[in-house]
Amino acid sequence: MNLYKYASPTSFYPLAGKLIPWFAIPSAILFAVGMYVGFFIAPTDFQQGDAYRIIFIHVPAAWMGMFLYVLMAIYAGIGWAFNARLASMMASAIAITGAMFTLLSLVTGALWGKPTWGTYWAWDARMTSTLILLFLYIGFISLQSAIDDTRRADRAGAVLALVGVINVPIIYFSVQWWNTLHQGASIRILGKPTIAAPMLAAMLIILAACWLYSVAVVLMRLRCIILEREQNASRFAEVNA
């Protein structure tokens, strides 16, 4: 079997369609299992009560947000370097899911912050750098949607994503130093508490569910992008016939 065949958007399209259920269904099952473990098995936290349970979606969302940015940059870079259209389309498809997870982690973080620290928003280093990550996603998406020529959009997005990846660690550390210099230790997120095993399990199960969800949704969006961009490809009709 020649795997390179699937580097072509038109031949990847049907494969993506077949793969989607293999990711979507396990994702739904794992979400259900993770929520059951999170809500019924994991013990109530000694200090925070039941409010802490938002951690089961908050932490996986934050991880996915960061991870997907790097993945997006890698795909965009591959698409640019090897002129691989499918990789570039993949990057555009990932961007929106990544931005959604980043936003989700900010919103859940704010909702968690209110009962535990008494404020929705604190200029904590991690919150601030997550917010900036969201800005970077927004920049990538708005740049791509401002450019009509898809080839240029792919490459310009790649340059921006790679510049962003170089900058992310710099931004992260500068924000951390800024934070320690500005305000005293009035608020601290989790000073590394020992986490109960069911809590960790629920978090990891939901992380896996988010992971599978991302793959499924990205593939769905990828199929839409392929349909949109390759509608004139002459082979498309016969391949899908």
Partner 1 sequence: MLRWIVWRDLTLAWRRRADILSTVFFFIIVVSLFPLGIGPETQLLRSIAPGVIWVAALLASMLSLSRLFANDLQDGTLEQLLLTPQPLFLVVLGKVLAHWIVSEIPLVLIAPLVGLQFDIPGETLFILVVSLLVGTPVLSLIGSVGAALTLGLRGGGVLISILVLPLYIPALIFGAGAVEASIIGASPAPHLYLLGAFAIVSLIFSPWATAAALRISLE
Beta carbon nearer to partner 1, 158 or 209: 158
- Minimum Å gap between C-beta 59 and partner 1 is 24
- Minimum Å gap between C-beta 115 and partner 1 is 30
- Minimum Å gap between C-beta 38 and partner 1 is 33
Distance from C-alpha of 189 to C-alpha of 122, rounded to nearest angstrom: 10
For partner 1, the binding residues (CB under 8 A) are: 132, 135-136, 138-139, 142-143, 146-147, 152, 155-156, 159-160, 162-164, 166-167, 170-171, 174-175, 177-178, 181
Beta carbon nearer to partner 1, 84 or 147: 147
Q: What are phi and psi of 184, to 5 degrees?
A: -70, 180
- Minimum Å gap between C-beta 159 and partner 1 is 5
The single residue listed with the structure tokens 């890698």 is 74
Beta carbon nearer to partner 1, 55 or 72: 72
Q: Are 240 and 226 in contact (CB under 8 A)?
A: no
Number of Cβ atoms within 10 Å of the Cβ of 207: 20
Beta carbon nearer to partner 1, 159 or 227: 159
Q: Which residues contact 58 (CB under 8 A, 6 or more apart)?
A: 105, 108, 109, 112
Question: Largest alpha-carbon pair distance within the chain?
Answer: 66
